[in-house]
Chain A
Amino acid sequence: MNALLISLLLSTAVSAGPGPCKVFTGGTVALPAEARDDLEVLVADGLIQRIAPQVDRSWDGEACRIISLEPDAWLTPGLIHVGSTLGLLEIGGESSTHNHDAGGEPVRAAHDVADAYDPTSVAVPVARREGITSAVIVPGGGMVAGQAAWVQLEGRTQADAVVRHGVAMGASLSGGTPAEGLRLLRELLDDARAFATDRGAYDGNRSRSLAAGRMELEALQPVIQGRMPLIVGANRSADIEALIRFARDEEVGLIIDGGAEAWLHAPALASAGIAVVLNPLTQDPSSFDQPHARHDNPALLAAAGVRVIITNHSALFAGHLRQLAGLAWRDGMDHAQALAAITATPALVFGPEDRGRIAHGARADLVIWNGDPLELSSWATSVLIEGRSVDTTTRHDALFERYRDLPGLPLPALPLPAPPSPTLASPTGE
């Protein structure tokens, strides 16, 4: 039943900021590296203000709502869906609902996917119901697809939802072969540097021809300055190895998306600080891009010190996130590592670093579960974004309510008084 027992502590002391603060006590608290059952967490002003042992009661004297968790309940950071098409795609098979691939020129570095994000998508509450509070939305297609954005799953407008623009630059190894894709990327970055060195030449039409237009080359400046990582899809061992070399030579930040054969380069990825975004469900020899895929890939990478992020990219199945982390746990990752792969690690890799962790000063994106969140029997009983409870009901729930009793939609009663019965003409008359 309900994991929450909410009581209000009445106090005359000064409140810690606008609105009552909240204290979560009892249950298991998932800190970045360990799960503890002896802590309480104080939230005010949308931030985690204090984490203290339960005996401390340091909040005593403040006007706080006490939220007592059942012994089996867990308090975790909100989950983060990376490489997501949430808010960009409504129905998989209907291209008229797709806004993740801008099309047109192969280089669209200035394309900001946040401009396409629809916070009213029906997929957003479905993800939120499963404890997802943020998404890193990434555009697709082309050679450079555009800029990824960090959104929180709250609010009706982009102004409410978009937390940070340009958290990464989506790119792919397009071209006849992956090696040709790398050559094209090298040429593009080289041209972005040439452009930055002499903008006057470009504006005065005295520049050699460059691989992309002015806006794109301008948008690539954070990439060549190492301030915005490239996120590049690759599963094949050879492509991953070439990408590691590319990132070192070009001095750019890199995130590997896919990484099915990344375990073959785990030490190199760890020492280069290259994070890997992967789906634990697809670690099989399902294509010639990954004949050496193995189920313990996430565990092998984590053991080598690689930052592992777990996702499935799907706007519609974002809610599978914790099941996928559970698969990585089953296949050898620590529970804490697997949970971090859908919370703390995405925040560290993509920023903003004040999300994804239960830590002093972090944003209070929190989920209360009625059990271990990686177990399939548990569900989210409460979801908070920046300290505020958010609605977790979905269109699915509305359908369930409608069809809980058949036949579904009842006929409405007529609002008018019944008219006098007309005399019906006999169909066989005349």
Chain B
Amino acid sequence: MLPLTLAVSLALAPPTRAQVAELTPQTTLAAAEAPGFALIEAAPVADAPSVLLRDAHVMTATGAVYERGWVLLEDGVISALGEGEPPPAPGVATLSLEGRWITPGLIDPHSHMGVYGWPDAEAHDDGNEVTAVMTAGVWAEHSVKPQDPAIQRAVAGGVTTILTIPGSANLIGGRGVVLQLVPARSGRAMRFPGAPEHLKMACGENPKRYHGDQGRMPSTRMGAMFTLRQAFLEAAVARQEWDAWEQATAEPQGRKKKDAPQPAEPPERDLATETLVGVLRGEILPQIHCYRADDMLAMLQLADEMGFSIRAFHHATSAYKIRDVLAERDVGAVTWSDWWGFKMEAMDGIPQGVGLLQDAGAHVTLHSDSPSYGQILNQDAAKALREARRVGLDISEDQALAWITLQPAWVLGIDQLTGSLEPGKRADVVVWSGHPFGATTRADLVFIEGALRYDRERPQTWSDFELGREVQP
């Protein structure tokens, strides 16, 4: 059984996969949910041989950069890395990678792969449950089609992990799921072991357009705020019931006071409510689609009133205007290098925004929201770095690399497990043909948990959809 969550506060040392798998639900609510997390089949654990990657440029996303470095992948983790001549590793397959670059696997913290699978078709519209404005009980995982041909292409672009989430039609769209991009027979089997749960929320134009046009609330921003406040008020009541019941059942029998009430039946389960309870308890991380700075501030007001923490604002084209607030409160800004103007609320996106956010010490992250741009996240980082340097901001290439690796790992709550090249972390590693920010650079080798999942010299077709469709020139 997989753990329900690996709470946000992980131990300092990265846990091993075995430790991750042994984590047990901490609350009775989580225990009630746990059977739903059981796998019919095991997640594909790579039984990968050890590999020594050597003589390459190494960018770790932690600040350390080696002109000529090496990385040792053993048992699915990075067991060691360093500069210069690696220690002897007899019997370990060794790849000399002169002229190439090694980075952590890229992480796309905002994807709809699997839930809006290719090819575009009505049959693949599984991303927005638009029949209601509040759908906290639905899970993107249950829409994921692992045969989406976009998934393999993202891996070919160096991506090893994504957060795939419901769309933004609803104020509360449902749970997102962190996936490791490995071939699998179900979305469940792609779940990233140890990743916490996520909740997709949305503010601004989309919910009021989708639902206001149907004649139901919200048709305005104030209607949206009202609907959200009301929902969290109700969730707070449910949380009290669960807290009380858990407290009662957790107390040792012997110390129970005589006049203490007998534990009643557990509160009735309600899938939507328990997702919001998870948010209030800090076990489920809210990821909020929001463009305008004032909309983001309104959401922070909601969070303060209801007593929960927002993990990140997504798209966040005006996040630079409130970067002091976001940095101070540890709320992530998940954005693009230079997207703007495709809708009114995106009008103020500027190419210097990422640099300003970085400069202010905010958790700034790039994302794609697109299976096409999701193949070139490295180029988006290169563009954002260029625009920052153009206005004189002092940002290193390794910091820019963190916008697509360690920072999104933090947004997803898996930064203790992956996102940088450090001993003990998962061996999610990319070997690039050249500098990762170069225009013609491509991923040559992609390791996911130590297993070689993509080799540009020996491409495989992952998606069944594409089998038998090949046409020769």
B390 near A403 with CB under 8 A, answer no
What distance in Å separates the Cβ of A381 from its nearest Cβ neighbour in chain B?
Answer: 10
Chain B: CB-nearest residue to A402: B321
Kindly identify which residue among A282, A286, A329 contacts B440, using a CB–CB cutoff of 8 Å.
Answer: A329
Point out the residues of chain B lying under 8 angstroms from A123, CB to CB: 341
Q: For window 240-271 of chain A, which residues contact chain B by CB distance below 8 Å?
A: 263-264, 266
Q: Using A374-B439, A400-B352 as known contacts, say yes or no to A323 and B341 having CB atoms under 8 A apart.
A: no
- B352 contacts across to A, CB distance below 8 A: 396, 400
Interface size class of A (residues with CB under 8 A): 35 or more
Pairwise interchain contact B341-A91, C-beta atoms closer than 8 A: yes
Do residues B437 and A316 form an inter-chain contact, with CB atoms below 8 A?
A: no
Min C-beta distance of A6 to chain B, whole Å: 20
Provide 30 A-B residue pairs closer than 8 Å at the C-beta atoms, listed in order of the A residue.
A90-B341, A91-B343, A93-B343, A93-B344, A94-B343, A122-B341, A264-B473, A266-B473, A282-B372, A285-B149, A285-B465, A286-B118, A288-B120, A288-B121, A291-B119, A291-B469, A316-B342, A317-B339, A323-B383, A326-B440, A327-B376, A376-B379, A376-B382, A376-B438, A376-B439, A377-B382, A379-B390, A396-B352, A400-B350, A400-B356
Instruction: Judge whether A316 and B324 touch: CB under 8 Å.
Output: no
Q: Are B471 and A399 in contact (CB under 8 A)?
A: no
Cβ-neighbour of A400 out of B376, B391, B469 (below 8 A): B391
The reply to whether the CB of A330 lies closer than 8 angstroms to some CB of chain B is yes
Cβ of B83 under 8 Å from chain A? no
Binary CB contact string for chain B from 404 to 429 against chain A (1 if under 8 A, 0 otherwise): 00000000000000000000000000
How many Å lie between the Cα of A207 and that of B350 in the bound state?
Answer: 57
Q: Looking across the interface, which residue of chain A has its beta carbon closest to that of B389?
A: A377
B: residues with CB less than 8 A from A are 118-121, 149-150, 153, 205, 320-321, 323-324, 338-344, 347-352, 356, 371-373, 376, 379, 382-383, 385-386, 390-391, 437-442, 465-466, 469, 471, 473
Q: Residue of A at shortest CB range from B350? A: A396
Within 8 Å by CB of B471, from A264, A282, A284, lies A264
Using a CB–CB cutoff of 8 Å, the interface residues on chain A facing chain B are 90-94, 122-123, 126, 263-264, 266, 281-282, 284-288, 291-292, 300, 316-317, 319-320, 323, 326-327, 329-330, 372, 374-379, 396-397, 399-400, 403-404, 406, 408
A80 to B470, CA, bound (A): 34
Bound Cα distance from A184 to B460, whole angstroms? 43
| Besides A92-B342, A379-B386, 4 new A-B residue pairs in contact (Cβ under 8 A), listed by A number | A94-B343, A330-B442, A397-B350, A399-B348
Would A406 and B339 count as touching, CB distance under 8 A? no
Given contacts A375-B438, A379-B390, A406-B324, contact A316 B150 (CB under 8 A): no
Q: Once bound together, how far apart are the Cα atoms of A362 and B22, in whole Å?
A: 71
**A288 CB contacts on chain B under 8 angstroms:** 119-121
- Chain A residues near B379: list those with CB within 8 A: 323, 326, 376
A374 to chain B, nearest CB (A): 5
A94 (CB) vs chain B CBs: closest residue: B344
Given A323-B383, A375-B438, A400-B391, CB of A286 within 8 Å of CB of B120: yes
Tell me the complex Cα distance, A176–B351, Å.
42
Taking the closest CB of chain A, its distance from the CB of B401, in whole angstroms, is 14
CB-CB under 8 A for A93 and B439, given A263-B473, A264-B471: no
Residue pair A376, B341 in contact (C-beta under 8 Å): no
- When C-beta atoms are compared, the residue in chain A nearest to B205 turns out to be A93
- With a 10 A CB-CB cut-off, give which of B120, B323, B341, B351 has the most chain A CB atoms: B341
Q: Hey, which chain B residues are within 8 Å of A90, CB to CB?
A: 341
Cβ contact within 8 Å between A284 and B371: yes
CA A408 to CA B356, docked complex, whole Å: 13
Question: How far is it, in angstroms, between the C-alpha of A316 and the C-alpha of B442 when the chains are bound?
Answer: 27
Indicate if the CB atoms of B469 and A292 lie closer than 8 Å: yes
A372 to B435: give the CA distance in the assembly, Å. Answer: 15
CB pair A377 B391 closer than 8 Å? no
- State in angstroms the CA–CA spacing of A322 and B153 once bound together: 22
Q: Identify B466's interface contact among A285, A317, A379, CB under 8 A.
A: A285
**Known interface pairs A400-B350, A400-B352; A408-B321 also in contact (CB < 8 Å):** yes
User: In the complex, what residues of B have CB within 8 A of residue A408's CB?
Assistant: 321
Min Cβ gap B469→A in Å is: 6
Instruction: Please state if A287 and B383 are interface contacts (CB–CB under 8 Å).
Output: no
B440 near A284 with CB under 8 A, answer: no
**When chains A and B are docked, how far (Å) is the Cα of A78 from the Cα of B24?**
61
C-alpha gap A91/B356 in the complex (Å): 24
Which A residues lie within 8 Å of B349 (CB)?
396
CB distance A284 to B341 under 8 Å? no
A122 CA to B341 CA, complexed, in Å: 10
Closest 9 CB pairs of A and B: A93-B343, A92-B342, A326-B439, A376-B382, A396-B350, A316-B341, A330-B440, A287-B120, A400-B352
- Chain B residues near A292 (CB, 8 Å)? 469, 471
On chain A, the residues within 8 Å of B120 by CB distance are: 286-288
Evaluate contact between B323 and A406: CB separation under 8 angstroms. yes
For the complex formed, measure the closest distance between the CB of A329 and the CB atoms of chain B, giving whole angstroms.
6
- B121 lies within 8 A of A281 (CB): no
Interface centre among B321, B350, B373, B386 (most CB of A within 10 A): B350
The CA-CA distance from A430 to B386 in the complex, in Å, is 64
Residues of A close to B439: CB separation below 8 A? 323, 326-327, 329-330, 372, 374-376
Specify which chain B residues have a CB less than 8 angstroms from the CB of A92 in the assembled complex.
Answer: 341-343
Chain A residue nearest to B338 in the complex (CB): A319
A376 nearest CB across to chain B (Å)? 4
Interchain CA distance A326-B437 in the complex, whole Å: 12
Residues of A within 8 A of B356 (CB): 400, 403-404
Alpha-carbon distance A396/B391, docked complex (angstroms): 12
Cα A122 to Cα B153 in complex, Å, equals 35
Q: How far is the CA of A285 from the CA of B371 in the complex (A)?
A: 11
Name the B residues within 8 Å of A285 (CB-CB).
118-119, 149, 465-466, 469
Known: A291-B469, A292-B471, A379-B390. A403 touches B371 (CB 8 A): no
Residues of A contacting B321 in the complex (Cβ-Cβ under 8 angstroms): 403, 406, 408
The smallest C-beta distance from B135 to any residue of chain A, in angstroms, reads 23
A26 CB to closest chain B CB (Å) equals: 22
Cα A122 to Cα B340 with chains together (Å): 11
With A281-B373, A330-B440 known to touch, is A396 a contact of B340 (CB < 8 Å)?
A: yes
